[in-house]
Structure formats: structure tokens, C-alpha cells
Amino acid sequence: MEESINLKNIYKIIRKNFLLIVITTVISIFITAIISYFVLTPVYEMSTEILVNQNSSEEGQLINQNIQTDLQLINTYSGIIKSPVILDQVLNGMNLEMTSDELEEKITVSNDEQSQIVNIAVQDENPEVAVKLANTIATVFEKNIKNLMNVDNVTILSAAVLKKSSLPIFPNPKLNMAIATIIGLMLGVGIAFLREHLDTTMKDQQDMEDILGVPMLGVISPIVEKSGVIQKNKVFSKGKEEISNGQEEKSSAADST
């Protein structure tokens, strides 16, 4: 019974403050949309793929030991790609005003497990710069790995390409507004319950019983005065006053005689 009463009160509070909850949610979505579309700077990500693969043997067959060696070298290659040895050459070639450390933060090197394909992803506010950076990093790495590791097992598999349909990876307005909807609802409901908790006025019989802790014995209905009765009482009072005044005048005349 207590649980049903609590659920009933919750429904009552939400229904009473429904407009407040809706307004809070709409404002939250509106502010998030403004920030996502007009305040935050979009960031694009472009990627290129390189293949780590030993040269074929004279019989045209790949040796399994070479494949395992390539897989073990991928972790080393990931570190070399993000090293100043490669990045400094990329910055000098593109005449970019940033340090190798700043460029390193834009780069993500990854590969699937047991895969010889390495993905080089670059993030930048300008999609054209991101494409050039990804391709330049792959090209510089391919040229320098021969001298650095004394091997020739790197090939550019897929270059980064700028597409008209390229969308920024950040921000995601739809996701942000969905999160804002949830936050707005939670905030609105929280404000509604806080408002109800701080309101100590007694509005009905149930509030009086809850606050005073005693059962209600009875209710006095309000007395409503009808306009006809009020008008009749006024006429009657006026007539009574005139009669009283007439009697006083007669009494004064009799005394004078």
C-alpha cells in the first residue's frame, strides 16, 4: 500500500510539473545544438593503409617465418611512424608550423590482430590537411624504413582520399542532442521533486494528514453567498432603516406638541 501511494505521489508530481520538465528538456537540447553546430570546431579523420610484407622467395612462395617476423615488427613500426625521425621530415616537407609532439597527438597507428596491414589515421580541423598528412607520413616512412631497419617490406596499400561526403568525427550533434535529452529530462524531474520538497504549504486533505500526522475528522464546506440573497438582504436592511427613521420623526413631533 505504501509503495502504491509513493508511486501515485511520483506520478502526481511529474504530472503537476510536466510543463517544467518539457521546457527544461527543450532548453537543454537547444543549447547543445547551438554548441555542437556553431561553437565546437569540427575535426576530420583521414587514414591510409600500408602493408608489411617480406619479399617473395625465388620460388614465388612466402615463408611462414617471414610472416611471423613481419607481425612482430609491426609494433616497432608503429613507434617509428610516430617518432621525430619521420615526423620532422613530414613537417619540413609540408611547411607546417607545429612541433613533432603536436603532430604525434594527431596520429593513431593501429592494426588488426594477426594482420600485416597497418592503418595510419590523422585527425585535423582541415580535411585537406588531414589527407596530406596521412599520405605524406606513409610515403616518408616507406622511404626511410629501408635505411632504419635494413629491410624492404613496406608498401602503401591504400592512400587517403578526400571525399565530398566526408563527415567530421567530432562533434556528433545527433549523439550530443540525444544525451542532452536524457540529461534535460533528469534535470527537469530533479527540479520538480526539489520544488515539491521545498513547498511546505498544505493544499489538500492528504497534505494535512501527512504534515500534521493526524487523521482528518471532517471538512467544512465553504459558504457561498448568492447574489440574489445578498441583494434581498440589502433591500430589507434599507427598508428597515427607513421605517426606523420614520418612527423617530413621529416621536419627535409628538414631543414638541
Mean pLDDT of the chain: 82
Strands (E), the chain: 44-52, 107-110, 117-124, 154-158
> Are 134 and 48 a contacting pair, CB within 8 Å?
yes
- My answer on whether 139 and 73 are in the same domain is yes
pLDDT-based confidence at residue 45 (cuts at 50, 70, 90): very high
pLDDT digits over 191-236, tens only? 999 988 887 776 677 767 766 677 777 777 777 665 555 555 554 4
Same domain, yes or no: 50 and 141: yes
**Residue 2 pLDDT > 50:** no
* Residue 242 resides in a domain: no
Residue whose cell numbers read 535529452: 181
Domain boundary among 99, 126, 158: 158
Q: Count other C-beta atoms under 10 Å from residue 251's C-beta.
A: 9
Please give the Cα distance from 127 to 162 (Å, whole number).
7
For residue 145, being part of any structural domain is answered with yes
In a domain, 175, yes or no: yes
Q: Is the peptide bond prior to 127 cis by the omega test (within 30 degrees of 0)?
A: no
- Kindly report, residue by residue over 51-69, the tens digit of the pLDDT: 987 655 444 445 566 667 7
Domain that holds residue 73: 44-158
The structural domain count of the chain equals 2
